[in-house]
Amino acid sequence: MSQKTTENLDEVTIRFAGDSGDGMQLTGTQFTNTTAILGNDLSTLPDYPAEIRAPAGTLFGVSGFQIHFGSMEINTPGDHCDVLVAMNAAALKVNLGSLLDGGSIIVNTDGFNDKNLKLAGYAQSPLTDGSLSKYQLFEVDISKLTALALQDMAMTSKLVDRSKNFFALGMMYWMYNRPLETTIEWLKGKFKSKPDILEANIRVLKAGWNYGETTEIFSVRYEVGPAKLAPGRYRNITGNQAVAWGLMTAAKKAQLDLFLGTYPITPASDILHELSLYKSHGVKTFQAEDEIAGICSAIGASFGGALGATTTSGPGVALKTEAIGLAVMVELPLVIVNVQRGGPSTGLPTKTEQSDLLQALYGRNGEAPIPVIAASTPSDCFDTAFEACRIALKYMTPVMLLTDGYLGNGSEPWLIPEYDNLPDISHPFATNPEGFQPYARDEKTLSRPWAIPGTPGLEHRIGGLEKENITGNVSYDPENHDLMNHLRTEKIERIANDIPLAHVEGDSQGDVLVVGWGGTYGAIRTAVLRQREKGHSVSHLHLRYLNPLPRNLGEVLAKFKRVLVPEINLGQLVKVLRAKYLVPATGFNKVRGLPFRSVELEKEIEEILKGTK
């Protein structure tokens, strides 16, 4: 056995890649959970095809999972990876461009036979033609070694092949000094009723670890120490899980049942899956026959005195549009979660995008304003979901919460908040029939009373026809319609007095202010911090509240010479800022179905500083 050495690293980015049936998402998730338990800061990027099972070995069937972890602050899943684990030729070809020069490639040599090379479009094997000479190449016959580990078990070749991802995981656990116990305990829970599958996966996991320990091709293993995180209790969490928990926690703090009426759609379905596990916690989930039924059932639940919510993505919001207008008209609390994906139409179901902002702000018939807020990181999805519920209840209005595919599927450490430290957001029901008027308004918030069915003396009309001010009767009077439009708009505008002022990270004035929203937070923060380390006058402002905008935003923007607005769309927030504040903001826009890389944002900032943009 060769002598092994250990090197300490501050950060590492690993990308697991293979066929959509190779279990790369599972492999990456298990590596992530183990890494989180060790106390590393981390950020992940699951990247998988829309096809449920694309033809094996093809380029469009490649599934990847990237994790960036370290002993320092981690804000992005990594611009490039240090290590690429490629289970076949297609996985190598699709992902090689994301690997740093000098980076390591670990390939499953069985995935580079003539058939796989042809499917991937290789005229000859990249393992032998010298095209990988600038990388460190490690060739491992993972398929064969997996079969050897299971040769005395009566298992089909298909089941044996499906276990090979755990061999790759075991190798990476050895290489980066990760323990096996977390994954073994997960396997015991997952396959407790299938002892043969359980034993096979544990065997293969240990075989991969032992291979790293004994083989001569790996002479170095790496140590990545824990990050200096704020004290408290942490867990690894995805954005979709965080949304689900934020909704549940808000319902508890409002002393209400939570009702989710929804229809499954990528990439939002995991919120439904998560909430369906908590029936014993006052959570009711309803998988409707379509998007329209989903949101209408949620509106009905709110009318009945529950906290109504619906989850979807951009195409689903399009179908829910008329019902959102209904919720505006009847002025009931409702949370609409839009986990944005690539569009238009069916678009790129499994890829991320930020192209639904204008839809969220304006995409309804008539004057139908609603509050719009956006999460910035996977763990921030908890806080924004809670805040969306607070606003919906206090102002009796539907609220749109924007996340995206990157945030929803990505994960990071989450500092679990103390329940008792969260605010009480309960909103009283109307109970007194004396002088009751369904559209009388609170002087401060302009919210109307919440009168649930069955309360004696509080019967009132409900529906999409225009309401008469105060009485709620159906009205076609022109002056009343004008008044009600102004009242509904003013109610949303008053929310600006109930949200934090815009806060700049960095200097409050200077040469360049980078304004972002949503999942671009990590890339922008990293790019701005690097520019500030170079001595440049660059600051960062990230917007959670998109309607209404913070009331000091215009003053903040005016203090900078240039405003740069990076968005994963063709320029939506930048249009809003130009129109509202008359600032010559510059957009930086790419719509590739992928998060921004911090290096490309840095380059754009530098060009603006030089005056070339």
Taking the model in full, what pTM does it have?
Answer: 0.96
Residue ranges of the chain with per-residue pLDDT less than 70: 1-2
* pLDDT of amino acid 613: 75
Q: Are 432 and 283 in contact, with CB atoms under 8 Å apart?
A: no
Contact 20, 63 (CB under 8 A): yes
Question: How many Å is the Cα radius of gyration of the chain?
Answer: 26
The correct answer on CATH 3.40.50.920 for the domain covering 504-610 is yes
C-beta separation of 550 from 373 below 8 A: no
Superfamily of domain 235-421: Thiamin diphosphate (ThDP)-binding fold, Pyr/PP domains (3.40.50.970)
Q: Are 232 and 369 a contacting pair, CB within 8 Å?
A: no
Tokens standing for residue 44: 């992940």
Contacts of 229 (CB under 8 A, 6+ apart): 39, 41, 413, 415
CATH 3.40.920.10 in the chain, residue ranges = 5-220
Strands (E) across 176-324 are located at 220-223, 234-238, 258-262, 283-287, 307-312
Query: Which helix or strand (DSSP H or E) is residue 43 part of?
Result: strand 41-47
Q: Give yes or no for a contact between 224 and 9, defined as CB atoms under 8 angstroms apart.
A: yes
CA dist., res. 409 & res. 387, Å (int): 21
Q: What is the Cα–Cα distance from 342 to 340, expressed in whole angstroms?
A: 7
**What's the token pair of residue 320?**
């829910």
For the structural domain made of 5-220, what CATH number should be given?
3.40.920.10
Asked if 523 and 595 count as a contact pair (C-beta separation under 8 A), the reply is: yes
CATH 3.40.50.920 location in the chain: 504-610
Strand order across the 510-517 sheet: 504-505, 538-543, 510-517, 560-567, 586-589
In whole angstroms, what is the distance from residue 433 CA to residue 576 CA? Answer: 44
- Closest by Cα among 29, 6, 142 to 14: 29
